[in-house]
Structure 1
């Protein structure tokens, strides 16, 4: 079977013909495929998209196509200029296999963008013998097309959080908003920094009509987020992320453990809390055998850290309740016991939970309706993307990478799928 026949099957170009194929050995093995317009066909103006009379022919151009068996493939074509009466000047014709002045064929650009979801951009460039810039342009093209063609209807549940994407800079955080509906979980929006103004701009972009249809909004206890949600999503139930509650408790236990360790060392007592951090922070079912033995020894001691640990484990019963009334009763009792514990970090957590009591009880209303663990899962994926790229220098590059990997953006239909 001729290569022209295969290309006509999977990559047919309307108005053009694959004229000939030539294999060349010029430092690297390349396959050059020459195209020509069909006889009698008129060129299409790249400005207005209408056919017009030909003006002249430009020099031959090379367009990169998908490599074949490790052989570089190029399309060769001499573009025509169109004497367009509507545009009022001569324009280069529109070529169906490439966009504008891009020397990558559209098919190859989508091929690179698809592989860029599975590997780092550098690995894609090396694997397919192209430049890193070509991969970046391909990903950017895919993101722009996907954002312009995605469907934003039917969004009823969202979650928001921030991640730190670089260190030692003023604007080191970005605000991320995810869709959490059953069967449709994706990154919806990215904003620079984590201010009230930035988060309000999401709802301005999302629109008052879509914001009014939101049923659930999952967030942490940061006040700017809570204020904007109460202002913009008036019909939504604001649910506090369970992970952030557990995170505050873990930090409190770690603080109690660190302070008590210093006290024991100052008094010359046995440092029993040394190397015990993860024994106290991990869930009991996730402990290793050595950590289980270490925890048993610690539970036999009368330590402030153990009292904090037992309070944390006791609070886990809060999430097992079904009725919010009984959960609220348990929360009040737990906060009272914690306030009497004389453990300042744990008392701080108790005060915080009391202040956000209604939002905590909203968790039972949303339970079963949305996946409340998705926000942290998406955050972990976002951090992996930034680490895989060894950090992004600009916010725009970070935005493109996160939309590309987490945005679940649509793709145009092709006659052939490469991967």
Structure 2
């Protein structure tokens, strides 16, 4: 509908109702007769009302209140307080996010450092690709899917001068990120975020633990098998705040395996985690020493990881120098995952992306205010 004033055509199909903001414990609705108008461009259509979008059964004020609650509260609070179905709330989030984006400046303005990551939803079977702007610490773009073809869509939205302004691209070690950055932003620095670097090591450490546990179980060594049951969370957790039980498990790691493989793998994990916090000159030597020790550890999982760390050594060192990715991308990732958990039950991924933008995109949301 074009929204222009047109000549009347008929009385239409009678009265229509819209859900409005509740008055205390009373549910409020707007009821109005809807005439039809004759538009040369749109044809014979129902007249537009100032309090709701065309074809919508909720007023703008109700949708603004619902979107604001979705940004600060959980699913149970929104549905219970507003008495609205969760599927309808997802559609409301999409409409409000679209209206707010059109009224705000472009989120791509001033981008110099971005982070990209793929986040799973629907029990890990599907992904959305999210791009975060490090300066403003907010989500600037999200799309359904995962891989180079999806990330390429983001760069197609950018003008050439905006691509040239991007200096740092942070993310995990996926090759499709490398290829897209090389094609669209050849002058940008490719940076690995510290969270994914440590996650490589924790994954390899867990593989070592499972392999040793399976070997002890097949050999019938009940004592070692019993000790290994309490070691999983102790070796994967940061040693800054362990529980008493985890301290006991860490103390028993040396006796779990006669060759000390699990304990040596845990030491290498801690060395890799701490060197990422050191100054660049110090971290450069410590990283070379770590690769030397890991490649000669005689632990297959750690030896394989040392080859990967050696290949990505320049990217890891660039991670330490700019200081962009570590805490900021982790915090954004946690907020995005919280929004995805809240969106459980939405049938359309566009509604999930809209909720992510409402909670993490820096959209200017306000409760409805009375006209002055």
| Alpha-carbon distance between aligned partners in 2 of 1:74 and 1:393, rounded to the nearest angstrom | 27
Partner SS for 2:129: strand
Partner SS for 1:62: strand
| Alpha-carbon distance between aligned partners in 1 of 2:152 and 2:215, rounded to the nearest angstrom | 46
Specify which of 274, 298, 302 is matched with residue 253 of structure 2. Answer: 298
1:157 matched to 2:113: yes
Moved over 6 A (4+): none
Write the deviation string for residues 222-274 of structure 1: whole angstroms up to 9, x where unpaired.
11112212222223222111011111111111111222223334444431323
| Alpha-carbon distance between aligned partners in 2 of 1:254 and 1:88, rounded to the nearest angstrom | 62
- 1:35 is matched with none
Give structure 1 stretches of 5+ with no counterpart.
Answer: 1-45
Please say if residues 112 and 135 of structure 1, whose CA atoms lie closer than 8 Å, have aligned partners that are also in contact. yes
Please say if residues 218 and 372 of structure 1, whose CA atoms lie closer than 8 Å, have aligned partners that are also in contact. no
- 2:171 is matched with 219
Specify which of 264, 271, 276 is matched with residue 307 of structure 1. Answer: 264
How much is the aligned-residue C-alpha RMSD, in angstroms?
2.7
- 1:185 is matched with 137
- 1:231 is matched with 183
| Alpha-carbon distance between aligned partners in 1 of 2:195 and 2:62, rounded to the nearest angstrom | 42
- 1:333 is matched with 289
| Alpha-carbon distance between aligned partners in 2 of 1:68 and 1:274, rounded to the nearest angstrom | 56
| Alpha-carbon distance between aligned partners in 2 of 1:168 and 1:237, rounded to the nearest angstrom | 30
Structure 1 stretch 100-109 or stretch 339-348: which is displaced more?
Answer: 100-109
Please say if residues 386 and 392 of structure 1, whose CA atoms lie closer than 8 Å, have aligned partners that are also in contact. no
User: Per chain length, whose mean CA-contact separation is higher, i.e. which structure has more relative contact order (CA < 8 Å, sep 6+)?
Assistant: 2
Partner SS for 2:134: strand
Please say if residues 165 and 391 of structure 1, whose CA atoms lie closer than 8 Å, have aligned partners that are also in contact. no
1:373 matched to 2:327: yes
1:66 matched to 2:66: no
User: Equivalent residues in 2 for 1:379-398 (5 A)?
Assistant: 379-390=333-344, 392-398=346-352
Please say if residues 160 and 219 of structure 1, whose CA atoms lie closer than 8 Å, have aligned partners that are also in contact. yes
| Alpha-carbon distance between aligned partners in 1 of 2:231 and 2:76, rounded to the nearest angstrom | 41
- 1:263 is matched with 215
The alpha carbon displacement at 1:48 in A equals 4.5
Please say if residues 86 and 345 of structure 2, whose CA atoms lie closer than 8 Å, have aligned partners that are also in contact. no
Question: CA 1:235–1:413 in 2, change beyond 3 Å: closer, same or farther?
Answer: farther
The count of corresponding residues between Structure 1 and Structure 2 is 363
The higher radius of gyration belongs to 1
Question: CA 1:244–1:259 in 2, change beyond 3 Å: closer, same or farther?
Answer: same
User: Equivalent residues in 2 for 1:34-113 (5 A)?
Assistant: 47-50=2-5, 52=6, 54=8, 57-58=11-12, 59-82=14-37, 87=41, 91-113=45-67
- 1:358 is matched with 314
| Alpha-carbon distance between aligned partners in 2 of 1:82 and 1:88, rounded to the nearest angstrom | 10
Please say if residues 121 and 135 of structure 1, whose CA atoms lie closer than 8 Å, have aligned partners that are also in contact. no
- 2:151 is matched with 199
Question: CA 1:388–1:109 in 2, change beyond 3 Å: closer, same or farther?
Answer: closer
1:280 matched to 2:220: no
Please say if residues 112 and 166 of structure 2, whose CA atoms lie closer than 8 Å, have aligned partners that are also in contact. yes
| Alpha-carbon distance between aligned partners in 2 of 1:147 and 1:210, rounded to the nearest angstrom | 19
Write the deviation string for residues 373-410 of structure 1: whole angstroms up to 9, x where unpaired.
23233333333333334454443333233223222223
Partner SS for 2:321: helix
| Alpha-carbon distance between aligned partners in 2 of 1:94 and 1:110, rounded to the nearest angstrom | 19
The alpha carbon displacement at 1:359 in A equals 0.5
By percentage of residues, which structure has more helix? Answer: 2
- 1:34 is matched with none
- 1:43 is matched with none
By percentage of residues, which structure has more strand? Answer: 1
Write the deviation string for residues 70-89 of structure 1: whole angstroms up to 9, x where unpaired.
111122333444456x6596
TM-score normalised by length of structure 2? 0.87
Give structure 2 stretches of 5+ with no counterpart.
Answer: none
